[in-house]
A and B are shown apart, each in its own frame.
Chain A
Amino acid sequence: MKTKVRMVGKVAVVELSGKITIGEGDVVLRDEVNKLLESDQKAILLNLNGVTYMDSAGIGELVACYKRAAEAGAKLKLLNPSGRVSDLLSLTKLQQVFDIYNEEKDALVSF
């Protein structure tokens, strides 16, 4: 899994691409979000459009990132989960937990 961060105003948009699975993408995601929180970033938008696959470890890491952000007084939101990822978020009732957006501009103004 690869990540690329770009700043849009006060929001750190994290472009994720590849798989978020056990022992692989989950660690990369954790490290990237930790780095942003350590630098006192308060608004994080994870763009999941390029995420091709996710397992329960990936879903768990998303939840862990969400909680760590909240503990640090930051907000973490999701953008554009692909079909299969969206299905998993729905199945695990996490669509009710995360703020999820289809359009980046809508996500950006929500922070």
Chain B
Amino acid sequence: MRKKSPAREIRVQIDSRYEFIDLIQRMAEDLCRVAGLARSAALNLGLAVREAVANAIKHGNRLDHSKRVIVIFKVASDRIVVAVRDQGKGFDPQRVKNPVAPENVYQNHGRGIFFMNAFVDDVTFTRLRSGGTEVRMEKRSRERRPGGASPARASMRQGGKAQ
């Protein structure tokens, strides 16, 4: 039986500045290669991570440069998990409106979480004890591994849990 290699972890901490978003997005896309994910999957995760970091800077830390955004990448042989933490006051993801509902389609904002849900397999929001929010995104390899289980189906799940 094939033994899975342990996940490798990388932690990055940035100031709340938009100019760092590109860097984090590139890291996400490059690490997808390490995890054996396809190019299209890397682009999808890259956009989801971009949106999560942008939200953390803008809505979580409210552009306060003294507040940090922490990004944790966990890279395994068949998946990558990215957690994005801010130091804001938290929010209720259930209150985010559906941007493709007819009454919301003309809104200027509110598509970031929609993109996260669309482009990764799982998204969860957790309110941290410290007061901020953690967005956890998981992207799995679609390729069937010899002797392994069939790949999990993509889901559009979005849930929040309080600590």
Contact = CB atoms under 8 A, between A and B. Distances in A.
Interface range on chain A (Cβ under 8 Å from partner)? 20 to 34
Given A22-B21, A91-B118, A92-B114, A55 B54 contact: yes
The bracket for how many chain B residues form the interface is 20 to 34
Contacts, number: 53
Contacts of A91: 100, 115, 118
Contact of A97 (B19, B105, B111, B112): B105
Contact of B18 (A22, A67, A94, A96): A22
Nearest to A88: B115
Given A24-B18, A60-B109, A63-B107, A55 B118 contact: no
Contacts of B111: 56, 59-60, 92
A60 B108 contact: yes
A29 to B, nearest CB: 12
A57 interface: yes
A6 interface: no
Interface string B96-114: 0001100001111111101
A94 B100 CA distance: 8
Contacts of A59: 111
A56 B105 CA distance: 13
B51 interface: yes
A92 B106 contact: no
Interface string A58-86: 01110110010000000000000000100
29 contacts: A21-B21, A22-B18, A22-B21, A23-B21, A55-B47, A55-B50, A55-B54, A55-B112, A56-B51, A56-B111, A56-B112, A56-B114, A56-B115, A57-B54, A59-B111, A60-B107, A60-B109, A60-B110, A60-B111, A67-B108, A88-B115, A91-B100, A91-B118, A92-B99, A92-B105, A92-B111, A93-B105, A96-B105, A97-B106
Q: What 10 A-B pairs are tightest by C-beta distance, nearest first? A: A23-B18, A56-B111, A64-B108, A60-B108, A56-B112, A93-B100, A22-B54, A60-B109, A93-B105, A56-B115
